Amino acid sequence: VNKSCKPSPPKSNKYHFAAFLRYFIIFTSMRLTITWFFTVLAAILLLVNGSSCRKQQLLTTGGVLKFSTDTLKFDTVFTAAGSFTTGLLIYNKQSEPISVSSVRLKNGASSYFHLNVDGFKGNYVTNLKIAPHDSIYVFATVNIDPTDTLTPFIVTDELIATLNGKDYTVPFTAYGQNAHYIVSDSFGASSPTTWLTDKPYVVVHSCVIGPGATLNIPSQCRVYMHQDARFFVFGTLNINNAATSKSDTVTIQGDRLDRAYFGYIGYPGEWGGIYVVTGGVCNMRNTLLMNCGGGTYYHNFGTQSAAIEVDSGALLNMNQCVIRNSIGHGIFSFQGNVNATNCLVANCGGEALAVVLGGKDSFTYCTFANYSSNVLSHINNPTVGIVNWLQISQTEYIYADIDVMMRNCIVWGSLDSELVVDTSGSPAGTKARMLFDHCDLHMPTQMEAFVQLKSCFNVAPQFKSTDKLDFHFPSTSPATGAGTLTSPTVFKDLDWNDRGSGFDLGCYIHSP
């Protein structure tokens, strides 16, 4: 092999750089000062090494984390034991890299959810680096046995990501037990709808019965309301109209069945209530509404907290019903029409019955009773308040006609007076009739002249236990046999016991 014919090996970058530097010095030695020489030399070295090799500094203060969603929802309704996985992104919108000190679940190891954060499994993952304008994936899996009655209907948790000492959160929600879920549903006027009794119903946000529509909730239907849930009745809502015994009770309550764990059994305000809008009709029989009153919007006057609100021109018919533990009013009638028989309204944060701006209301064999408890304070509002006016500004009132009748009822509580009626300031021509016929009323010594009291008295009814919300009374109670014949005749009390001919006051007949 002729070595002279072999190609010369390629010169290294160092050779080219040295040659370039040698010629550069010769060419510029007569023109550049020593200072300029070293400046240009430093620039050349910087270019050779590459500016991209500089290490960027972590953002150690401030900064913001962004998420691809504000709530992670697991929309699958399970029908058998299983799991469902979905995910979200955590974004670094800054121009510097960041270190997320932790991504975790609020409920930790006890959560129904399980995380995989940027490839790391666990419900507490630490020290996650995110490059500038980059993101990391968070996958979440929920594992639920829908047949486990101890599982909440709505399973929740909270993802918490911490950047430079500040927490950023994303709520997690999933369906728990196998149930019929009503999520912001509206029922139209095409045909009446009747709910089933095979599985519970869980209402999330709202259930709207539209104008002309009818919703029937039959006997033994189980209804659970999420914390922001309420019924809006523009059409007709029938609850348990075909009940034939006490065992046929329909109970509408909050969906927090784990209250015993937290020590808050019977906690008020767990859900909204029933709002009967102008033109709407609500018929209820043998129904229990409990732990409600979280608030409903009415007209332009703000939020009203009530178990049931009846608007102007709306109709509420109640028979053998109980309202208990409302954080606000029990029944709030705003120029509405309410007919109630054999009903108990007790332990309310506001009035058990509030009639505002008039209306036409009738109450027969009803008990209204308010006492302080470990979850509600009864110190200001009377048990029953009835007025024909509404204050719309500091100096302005509006008035309307009012017609309220109570017969064979009990109004009682722990205050000095539990009944307030007022039509003062009514303009000429305003009609006002308030008749209390054979009632036991914890009332003031002076009543307005228009109030008719017929065979009424003011003596404690001897309730069995107000602490336990037991408003039965013994045969020695002054309420025993103190009533009068009603039309139509009421044959059963709230317990479905025969009333006979004794005419005991309130929703119960006396205990033996």
> Which of 232, 234, 354, 220 lies closest to 288, judged by CA?
220
User: Cα separation of 386 and 55, whole Å?
Assistant: 75
Number of helical (H) and strand (E) elements in the chain, helices listed first: 3, 41
Identify the pLDDT of residue 488: 92
Phi, psi for residue 24 in degrees, rounded to 5: -65, -40
Q: What are phi and psi of 4, to 5 degrees?
A: -65, -20
φ, ψ (nearest 5 deg) of residue 45:
-60, -40
The pLDDT of residue 424 is 86
The rounded mean pLDDT for the chain is 88
Measure the N-to-C terminal CA separation of the chain; round to a whole number of Å. 128
Q: What are the E-state strand segments in 376-454?
A: 384-387, 389-391, 397-399, 402-407, 410-413, 419-422, 432-437, 440-441, 451-454
Q: Which residues pair with 65 in a beta bridge?
A: 92
- Taking CA atoms, 451 is separated from 193, 355, 422, 433, in Å, by 43, 15, 9, 7
pLDDT at 303: 59
Q: CB–CB of 291/266 below 8 Å?
A: yes
Residue 84 class from Cβ within 10 Å (0-12 exposed, 13-18 middle, 19+ buried)? middle
Could you give the CA distance from residue 69 to residue 91 in angstroms, rounded to a whole number? Answer: 11
What is the β-pairing status of strands 337-341 and 315-319?
Answer: parallel
Secondary structure of residue 23 in the 3-state scheme: helix
DSSP type of residue 118: T
Cα Rg for the chain, rounded, in angstroms?
Answer: 36
Predicted pLDDT of residue 479: 98
In contact, 215 and 196? CB cutoff 8 Å: no
With a cut of 50, list the residues of the chain below it in pLDDT: 1-8, 11-17, 19-21, 23-28, 30-32, 51-52, 262, 298-301
Q: Give the Cα separation of 388 and 425 in Å (integer).
A: 10
Q: What is the pLDDT of residues 47-86, one digit of tens each?
A: 555 544 556 789 999 999 999 999 999 888 877 777 899 9
Dihedral sign, Cα of residue 422, residue 469, residue 223, residue 181: positive
- Residue 301 Cα distances to 14, 333, 391, angstroms: 83, 14, 10
Confidence at residue 20, expressed as pLDDT on a 0 to 100 scale: 46
Q: What is the four-CA torsion angle of 14, 19, 21, 23, rounded to 10 degrees?
A: 180
How far apart are alpha carbons 93 and 217 in whole angstroms?
51
φ, ψ (nearest 5 deg) of residue 171:
-70, 145
Reported pTM: 0.81
- The closest alpha carbon to 454, from 487, 399, 388, 407, belongs to 407
